[in-house]
Amino acid sequence: MRQHLAVFLIFVAGLAFAGPAGEAGRYLETDEYLNAAFPSGVPAAQVLWLKGDLRADVERLLGHRFNGLRVRYWRDGTRSAWILDEIGKELPITIGIAVSGGAIASVDILEFRESRGWEVRYPFFTDQFVNARLGPNDTLDRRIDGITGATMSVDAVTRVAQVALLLHEHVANAD
Amino acid sequence: MNTSQTPTNGKSRGRRWFRRGHRWAGLSLVVFVVYLSVSGIALNHSGDLELERRYLDWPWLLDAYGLEAPTPSASFADTGHRATLLGERLFLDGRDTGQREAALNGIAALGPLVLVAGEQSVSLFTDDGEFVEAIDLGSRLTGPIERVGRSGDRAVLQTASETLQSDADVALFEPWDRVSAAHWSVATLPDEAEIAALKSAWRGRGVTVERLLLDLHSGRIFSAAGPLLMDLVAVLLILLSVSGIILSRVRNRRK
């Protein structure tokens, strides 16, 4: 009985002192992300100035003013990659979105700075976006399941996914 | 005779001390009761009184809130533009850019764009200070940026082992070897008036009246000891209520 109690107490102490399974931090450097997004070679960076209707559309999707006048992207044929910052609760999350042929190819969290909500980095969440396209009113054509305790981070990633699809469509149509 | 008088005297002495204690506790808490009541009423009507929109910028108050502006850690000027780092906040031409940098290593005025460099990244602004883009060069550089300059309308960045030049859009940086052709920015301190203006900008509009009242009400204005003091006041108020009920019951019983 005493031995069981000791094992139980050690287990509880272990739970109490164990750090979280994941945490905020820099998960991917920009070049690592781009090498993964473009396995056959990273194209040169291009910049897109956000002006007029495009800026208005981006800000409508984000629900706030976009911080900056231009965004950087990488494009090779029908595939593009966007690295965008969006605030979850108080600090920006750096999110990489790869788009191929108008559908999301991958979503990666490059850096998460807040103490809560970092679960959005895991594939069980990011894989939900794969093959998502813009539907009516520039919303995603599928439902993204949330994560308990990470609602604001989930919303931020979802908004950035919509913006990346919109921007991809814009540069594709500009050809 | 004596034996029957002693407990009665002891009891009455105890009651006297109890009453005296109740009176002194009441008197000493008057200031706090008024203080908490007035701040509580004001907070209840914060919206009507627009307390969240009224700002106080008294220097002693801002100092009490720890809003003591740091002295500039680095400052560079180029062609009418000046970038200054106060703490981790980057100021351009006296305005807070909203960007955070651990270090400031130079500025380059490139006509319509102004480039400000930290150690691993550069921030771009328009000529009138609007933020354009932050470019993370961490994976592109072989070391931290040490010098920033310009060559014509191109930005030039130098690390310990290489020199890079931007394209005309300041979108890409490529190795460059004409180092002697660059005009390098040099660190210069702003004058006293500029520093005063920067510190004022760093402090911003100050503290809202609502924030001050909330902190007065909770005691947080008096640092860590404040909430403990307010807890003590609350406990004393509870004891005062209980002692008041006891005294009133004793008096009623006598009647």
Contact status of B167 with chain A (Cβ, < 8 Å): no
Q: Would you call A30 and B132 a contact, using CB atoms and an 8 Å cutoff?
A: no
- With b for 16 or more beta-carbon neighbours within 10 A and e for fewer, the B175-204 pattern comes to ebeeeeebeebeeeebeeebbeebbebbbe
Q: Which residues, given as ranges, of chain B have pLDDT below 70?
A: 1-8, 255
Give yes or no for A66 touching B (CB within 8 A). no
Place of tokens 């910052």: A85
Report if residue A78 sits inside a domain.
yes
User: Cα A139 to the chain's mean position, in Å?
Assistant: 16
Interchain pair B133, A32: CB under 8 A: no
Name the residue among A32, A44, A70 with its Cβ closest to that of B133: A70
Q: Inter-chain contact A72–B126, Cβ cutoff 8 Å? A: no
Instruction: Give a yes or no: residue A4 inside a domain.
Output: no
**Residue A46 C-alpha, separation from nearest chain B C-alpha, in angstroms:** 7
Give the max Cα distance, chain A.
75
Burial of A124 (0-12, 13-18, 19+ CB in 10 A): exposed
Residue B55 token pair:
């700002």
Residue A46: closest CA among chain B residues belongs to which residue? B171
Q: Find, among B128, B14, B138, the residue nearest to A69 by Cα.
A: B128
Phi and psi, residue A127, nearest 5°: -65, -20
For A51, nearest residue in chain B (alpha carbons): B132
Q: Is residue A3 part of a domain?
A: no
pLDDT, block means (10 residues), chain A with 175 residues: 54 45 79 93 93 95 93 95 92 94 96 90 94 91 91 95 97 88
Tokens of A87: 């605030």
Q: Measured between CB atoms, does A30 come within 8 Å of chain B?
A: yes
Where in chain B are the domains? 2-63+206-254, 71-201
Structure tokens at B38: 């007035």
Query: Cβ of B50 under 8 Å from any chain A Cβ?
Result: no
Q: Whole-angstrom Cα distance, residue A128 to residue A99?
A: 14
Whether the CB of B138 is below 8 Å from some CB of chain A: the reply is yes
* Residue of A29, A46, A69 lying closest to B171 (CB–CB): A46
Asked if residues B207 and B195 have their Cβ atoms less than 8 Å apart, the reply is no
Q: Judge whether A55 and A70 are in contact, CB under 8 Å.
A: no
Handedness of CA B102, B103, B109, B110 (dihedral sign): negative
Rg from Cα positions in chain B: 32
* B126 near A CB under 8 A: yes
Superfamily the domain B71-201 falls into? YVTN repeat-like/Quinoprotein amine dehydrogenase (2.130.10.10)
What is the C-alpha separation between A101 and B227, in angstroms, rounded?
59
Nearest to A142 by CA among A119, A123, A122, A165: A165
> Rounded to an integer, what distance in angstroms lies between the CA atom of residue A8 and that of residue A19?
19
Judge whether A116 lies within some domain. yes
What whole-number distance in Å separates Cα of residue B81 and Cα of residue B110? 11
Domain membership flag for residue A2: no
The minimal CB distance from A30 to the residues B98, B138, B171 is found for B138
In chain A, positions 78-137, which contact chain B (CB-CB < 8 Å)? Answer: none
Count of domains forming chain A: 1
Interface test with A, best of B132, B167, B170, B173 (most A CBs within 10 A): B132
Sheet of B131-136: strand order equals: B106-110, B113-117, B121-126, B131-136
Please give the residue of chain B at the shortest CA–CA distance from A29: B139
Residue A37 inside a domain? The answer is yes
Rounded to a whole number of angstroms, the distance between the first and last alpha carbons of chain A is 75
Q: What is the pLDDT of residue A18?
A: 43
pLDDT in tens, B209-240: 888 888 888 888 777 788 888 889 899 999 98
Query: Who contacts A145 (Cβ-Cβ below 8 Å, separation ≥6)?
Result: A125, A128
Residue of chain A nearest B113, judged by CA positions: A69
Q: Is A88 in contact with A117 (CB distance < 8 Å)?
A: yes
Tell me what pLDDT residue B69 has: 81
Structural domain containing residue A41: 24-174
Residue B6's pLDDT is 56
For residue B173, the surrounding DSSP H or E stretch is strand B173-175
B108 with B155: CB under 8 angstroms?
yes
Q: How much is the ipTM here?
A: 0.75
CB contact under 8 Å between A45 and B172, yes or no, is yes
